[in-house]
Structure 1
Amino acid sequence: MTACLALLALAQPKLPANAPKLVVLISIDQGRADYIDRFSDVCLPPKSGSTLGGIRWLSETGVRYTDAHHHHVPTFTAVGHSILMTGSIPALTGIVGNDWWDREKGKGHYSTEDDFYKTIGGDSTAQSARPLKVTTVGDELKMATNGRSKVVGISFKDRASILMAGHAADQVVWFDYKAGNFVTSTYFSNTLPSWAEEYNKSRAIDAYLGKTWKPSLPESAYVNARNAPHEKGPKMFAHTHPKDKSSSYYSSVVASADGQNVIFDLAEKAIQTEKLGQHETPDILVLNLASNDYVGHAWGPNSPEVLDVFAVTDRRMSRLFNMLNKQVPGGIDKVAVVVTADHGVCGIPSELSDVYKIEAGRVSGSAILKAVEDALDKKYGDAKWALDYNGSNIYLDRTVMDAKNLNHSEVEQTAADAAMTIKGVYRAFTRTNILEGRIPDISYRTWITNGLNPLVGGDVVVLDAPNQVETGATGTTHGSAWAYDTHVPILTHWGGQKSRKVGRRVYTHDIASTLSTLLGIEYPSGNVGEPLYESLPDAFQR
């Protein structure tokens, strides 16, 4: 019997002895790289006695990559999150936007929607990871440990938690604004995780009814902040949430620092309930902080609101790190922490132009489509030519082209030329030219080719000019190939590292292979990145 047990123990696949007990990847949604330095004065110190700080603890005692970028367009939420744990690019993942045109079904497709399954905890459209065509680090870890490792994903956004956690994740939740609950789908489980169900039943998220989000810091902390052009109140803002439960109320909470507290409270409950980091095999938690994104869209990157939610983020990170330091055997050095972002953001156009004299503006997607329709009608005859435009890809009706016996490449070029007549559009590239490598040798060429998936991508890819955004009359957005959208932080911390600041160019698709190397598992199936060797222990150095 003893001999049999010994043989069984030898047969168990083993991960490296220095592998972390827990991987925690945190995506600060819309977290531009410059925030790490610009807002450092409002962050906690790296360490105070035995208490760990937040952002500065990571950036000053771990490894910080100062020239980290996303390597694709468009830089949208779904796309960015589909890269972080796959190490891939949209050309391989199939995630080419927050939505795209489904040619088989003849309708628009939201990035993670999947009506084959059912939502648990609400009535919204079910979601799954099936649109993601490659594996994640979590998927590879599940396979390497025969399913013994736990993989958990948490966000207000379905497209964030799902696309980071992957196909084989144990528990993935997101928020249903109509129900006011965190939900999941039968793709992942037939029941809601107990910690999410308990949180829903507590109605803790309703604690902010009629309450006001006010600055959490002294007025002097906001000296470098500027109110958004449409914000006429004082810099020491006061945004009051609705008094009645509704989707508007929940949207208001999520788009505030109060939402940040909600998501961290839920993450802490998940860690405690699932005992993450306390198992024989490593676990993974992926956490998206969506509130930063909603606040940034509404008030812009230079606003006191963005600074305030970043300060709250820092303090909640500190609390999380100290909790893990106590809960995980071996302490925080046995936790592999990565903090990054899914994209950055442009400044508010009217602020850029009116205050700083920078050419900036807003681009009309409908104007782009009209120009394309008019040009194709004029050249080839009346028809409904454009099926959809998702802020990056124009989808043309190929059945119309075929019915008129037209050359697809020529029609694409006519559409691209028409799109470039619209003010604010910088360039437009055809599907044929991208797939055949016939793009000028320009600095952002790779971003374009990495972003086009031959199966679900469009027929024309539109690139807006710098500081031109496709959004409403106020606020701002992201999606371009320019530095303010691609430049994001990559901060890492785990045992065996030598703290340092690294200035070489790296990409967000390098994170997955780094974690895979640390865990001793295979890279995800669509990985194109290289390990961030400065973050790895000496045994892995080049």
Structure 2
Amino acid sequence: MKRLFPAALLAALPAIAPAAPPAASAAPKLIVAISVDQFSANLFEAWRPRFTGGLKRLSGGIAYPSGYQSHAATETCPGHSTLMTGRHPNKTGIVGNTMRDEATGKPVYCLSDTDVVLAHDAKAPPVGPKRLMADTLGEWLKAASPQSRVVSVSGKDRGAITMAGHRPDGVFWLFPGYGFTTYIAPGGDATAALAPVAALNAANAKVWTQKPKWTYAHPECRPLASEWTVGGKTFASRLPPANWGVSDKPADIVRNVTASPIPDDLTLAAAATLIDHYRLGRGPATDLLTVSFSATDFIGHAYGTRGPEMCEQMYRLDASIGALLKAIDRLGVPYVVALTADHGGSDFAERLAANGYPAARLDPPAMVARVNARVMAETGLKAAPLEGGADELSLTPGVPTADRPRVLAAAQRALAAEPDIAGAFTLDELLATPIPAGKPADELSLRERFAESAYRGRSGDLLIAPKPYLSSPARPGAYVAGHGSPWNYDRRVPILFWWKDAPAYTRFLPVETVDIAPTLAAVLGVSPPADVDGRCLPLGGPGFGACPSPVAAPAAAPAARGGAGPVAR
């Protein structure tokens, strides 16, 4: 398949039949909620002057450059779960990409769902919305307006399903090596479920069988190439990356395609296809489309955020979003866009250290071994009582129930003696921690950030904060940089709102991603549930996105304890 560079993106999109131009004062017919995976506020601010496409357009609306995923668990699944629910992970129940299963206590993928199967392969690990314990903007919209359509697409299942909610009209994500898939009930009609993306998958089948291409399209990215010693190996930050696009083995092609801008190209084409298939924006009611672009995260993990790989990705992302907006423009309907990210991120430790940051690599197994040794010495236990890593520890099944409190207390003392650890909190402490209503996200204490990420039965027994700029061991060629910390470089994300004739207004308030759903609900004229954590942000004044009159709130709300069962669906 010929690789698409920015100038060709728009021309390659499926044709979308136009509708009659609306009156200037017409209410929006389409809401578009975009997430860019790992699009930190740092990346946005660094690149904002250079954007010329879709991100330039969106930046010219109401821009909050200091938005926050205010919780501690800054991973893809928890972050996406906040965007359309208006709730923190302690209410969505999605506290990590991997979390505990309430029934077995064993680690499980955040969207593992045995009630469904994947439409393209019933034997593949099933994913679905069962573990999402909160309803979404799309569900609020369909309850108030049954004719509205809700469609979601992403490069990742956890970017699509968490934003779509429980009963969307369509939810699709990229399954590496195949194309876009969805979930169905066991025995359901897989052909019908995949029909909206069948032609697209067929057209892109060669992506998974031909060596991909990725090189410099922008001269200013070339000087960023350099070599580093990472994980004891030489890591060449360049384009194409080392061993990229040279193998014709299917597994290598899939791995190369995934760690590149190509997933965003495919997601862009899928979004345009689904707009046309579902005739979004052209029905009798307002529709909702959510799009999660995943390539920035794939590239950030594989190559870091300050090299030529991310440089080229930022240009491609800007062009992709611009092409999507131009495709929607051709519908001739009024629409509103909100853009944000599921979490932030940082560069790999070695490059950060060379630039003066106190960055280094952790050794989680060694740390866990030291903590276990201290706890065993203090308590007299004969077997290691703790398992996990540098971000979370849980008691092993062999620890007697009566011993749990003293073992956890000993573990906290042992962690306090670790030079790389900033804090450690028991799950019970966090579930008892009030989350102050209205407290600015940048003022939350470390404990409060973790309280927003704690859910009984799904969180570990001890949640841990390594000190800033300390990261996991590297695997050059697969993983050099990450995220997931409670620190602001992982929490800060841009939040942008745009519509035709939107005022160009940068607001520096530390708003939160949980504010997006209540704000869009006001645009739609829909009332969010009373338990949402976010607040409506006034956008256009009276008559457009006017927020409801504020209701007095208590000074603090207790953290949700979790495990109470699913919301009514």
Q: TM-score range by the shorter chain?
A: 0.7 to 0.9
Distance 1:134 1:515 in 2: 17
1:216 maps onto 2:217 in alignment: yes
Is 2:338 aligned against 1:342?
no
Is 1:374 matched up with 2:360?
Answer: no
Residue 453 (1) aligns with residue 455 (2): yes
- 2:372·2:384 contact (CA, 8 Å) conserved in 1? yes
Moved more, 480-489 or 100-109: 100-109
State which of 462, 466, 469 in structure 1 corresponds to 2:468.
Answer: 466
Residue 310 of structure 1 corresponds to 314
Conserved? CA contact 1:409–1:432, under 8 Å: no
CA–CA separation in structure 1 for the residues paired with 2:29 and 2:288: 9
Q: 1:220/1:107 Cα in 2 relative to 1: closer, same or farther (>3 Å)? A: closer
Describe the shift of the 1:310–1:442 C-alpha distance in structure 2 as closer, same or farther (beyond 3 A). Answer: closer
Other-structure match for 1:170: 169
Deviations 1:436-485 (A, max 9, x none): 3399x973332121111134222111001010012424411001111210
Does the 8 A contact of 2:226 with 2:238 survive in 1? Answer: yes
> Equivalent residue of 1:26, what SS?
strand
Q: What letter is aligned with 2:129?
A: A
Taking only aligned residues, the RMSD between alpha carbons, in angstroms, comes to: 2.6
Does 106-115 or 72-81 show the bigger shift? 106-115
Residues 166 and 103 of structure 1, relative CA distance in 2, 3 Å threshold: closer
Tell me the distance in 1 between the aligned counterparts of 2:83 and 2:329: 24
Alignment identity in percent? 27
Deviation at 1:397, TM superposition (A): 3.6
Q: How far, CA to CA, are the matches of 2:67 and 2:302 in structure 1?
A: 25
* CA deviation string 1:477-506 (max 9, x = no partner): 001111210111111112574220001110
Q: Which residue of 1 aligns with 2:514?
A: 509
Q: What's 1:197 paired with?
A: 198
Structure 1 equivalent of residue 431 of structure 2: 435
**1:126-145 deviations in Å (ceiling 9; x for gaps):** 11111010101011112112
Alpha-carbon offset, residue 205 of structure 1 = 5.1
Q: Does 1:321 align with 2:325?
A: yes
Amino acid at match of 1:517: A
Distance in structure 2 (CA, Å) of the matches to 1:323 and 1:537: 29
Q: Is the alpha carbon distance of 1:96 and 1:238 closer, same or farther for their aligned partners in structure 2, counting shifts above 3 Å?
A: closer
Q: Distance in 2 between matches of 1:205 and 1:262?
A: 12
Amino acid at match of 1:180: Y
- Aligned equivalents of 2:30 and 2:136: distance in 1? 16
Q: Counterpart of 1:214 in structure 2: which amino acid? A: T
Q: Distance in 2 between matches of 1:261 and 1:279?
A: 27
1:414 to 387, 410, 414: 410
Could you tell me whether the CA contact under 8 Å between 1:98 and 1:110 is conserved in 2? yes
Name the stretch that deviates more: 415-424 or 315-324. 415-424
Alpha-carbon offset, residue 170 of structure 1: 1.7
Amino acid at match of 1:432: D
| 1:152-301 mapped onto 2 (5 Å cutoff) | 152-177=151-176, 179-187=177-185, 190-191=189-190, 192-204=193-205, 206=207, 209-217=210-218, 219-221=219-221, 233=236, 235=238, 237=240, 240-244=244-248, 246-301=250-305
On the 8 A contact 2:415/2:421 being kept in 1, the answer is yes
Distance 2:226 2:34 in 1: 27
CA distance in 2, matches of 1:154, 1:538: 30
Who is 2:440 aligned against? none
In structure 2, C-alpha distance between the alignment counterparts of 1:278 and 1:56, rounded to whole Å = 26
State the shift of 1:153 in Å. 1.5
| Aligned residue in 1 for 2:495 | 490
Q: Secondary structure at the match of 2:400?
A: helix
CA deviations over 1:311-338 (Å, ceiling 9, x no partner): 11111111111110111x43xxx21111
Could you report, residue by residue, the CA deviation over 1:23-57 in whole angstroms, capped at 9, with x for unpaired residues? 1111111101122332235421xxxxxxxx31011
Determine helix, strand or coil for the equivalent of 1:262.
helix
SS at structure 2 position matched to 1:400 = coil
Contact 1:229 1:350 in 2 (8 A): yes
CA change 1:206–1:496 in 2 (3 A) is closer
Q: Contact conserved, 2:81 with 2:163, CA < 8 A, in 1?
A: yes
The question of whether the paired residues in 2 share the 8 Å contact of 1:74 and 1:481 is answered with: yes
Separation in 2, partners of 1:512, 1:476: 30
TM-score normalized by structure 2? 0.82
Deviation of the 1:530 alpha carbon: 0.5
CA contact (8 A) 1:22 1:336 kept: yes
Cα 1:315/1:537, change in 2 over 3 Å: farther
**Is residue 134 of structure 1 aligned with residue 134 of structure 2?**
yes
TM-score by length of 1: 0.86
Q: Deviations over 1:201-223 (max 9, x none)?
A: 22345277223210221x23555
Q: Closer, same or farther in 2 for the Cα pair 1:157/1:227, shift >3 Å?
A: farther
- The aligned amino acid for 1:81 is H
Gaps of 5+ in 1: 1-16, 45-52
Decide whether aligned partners of structure 1 residues 234 and 428 sit closer, same or farther in structure 2, where only a CA change above 3 A counts. closer
* CA separation of 1:86 and 1:222: change in aligned 2, threshold 3 A: farther
Deviations 1:127-172 (A, max 9, x none): 11110101010111121123x2221111221111111111111211
CA deviation after TM superposition for structure 1 residue 228, in Å: 6.0
Contact 2:30/2:281, CA 8 A, preserved across alignment? yes
Q: 1:281 to 1:358 in 2, by over 3 A?
A: same
Residue type of the partner of 1:450?
E
CA 1:153–1:251 in 2, change beyond 3 Å: closer, same or farther?
farther
2:434 and 2:275 mapped to 1: Cα distance?
Answer: 49
Assess, with a 3 A threshold, how the Cα gap between structure 1 residues 101 and 190 changes in structure 2: closer, same or farther: same
Contact 1:93 1:133 in 2 (8 A): yes
| Residue equivalent to 1:37 | 45
Q: Distance in 1 between matches of 2:434 and 2:321?
A: 46
**Cα separation, 1, equivalents of 2:419 and 2:250:** 39
Contact 2:221 / 2:312 at 8 angstroms: preserved in 1?
no
Q: Partners of 1:361 and 1:519 in 2: how far apart?
A: 47
Shift of the alpha carbon at 1:250? Answer: 1.7
Which residue of the partner structure matches residue 385 of structure 1? Answer: 385
Trace 1:93-112 onto structure 2 (pairs within 5 A): 93-112=92-111
1:329-371 deviation per Cα after TM superposition (whole angstroms, max 9, x unaligned): 43xxx21111111111122111122x22322112233234323
Hey, what's the Cα distance between the residues in 1 that align with 2:103 and 2:386?
Answer: 16
- Count residues with an aligned counterpart: 504
The equivalent residue for 2:8 is none
Which sits farther off after the overlay, 484-493 or 187-196?
187-196
Compared CA separation, residues 366 and 438, structure 1 to 2 (3 A): farther
Question: Could you tell me how far 1:428 is from its partner in structure 2?
Answer: 1.0
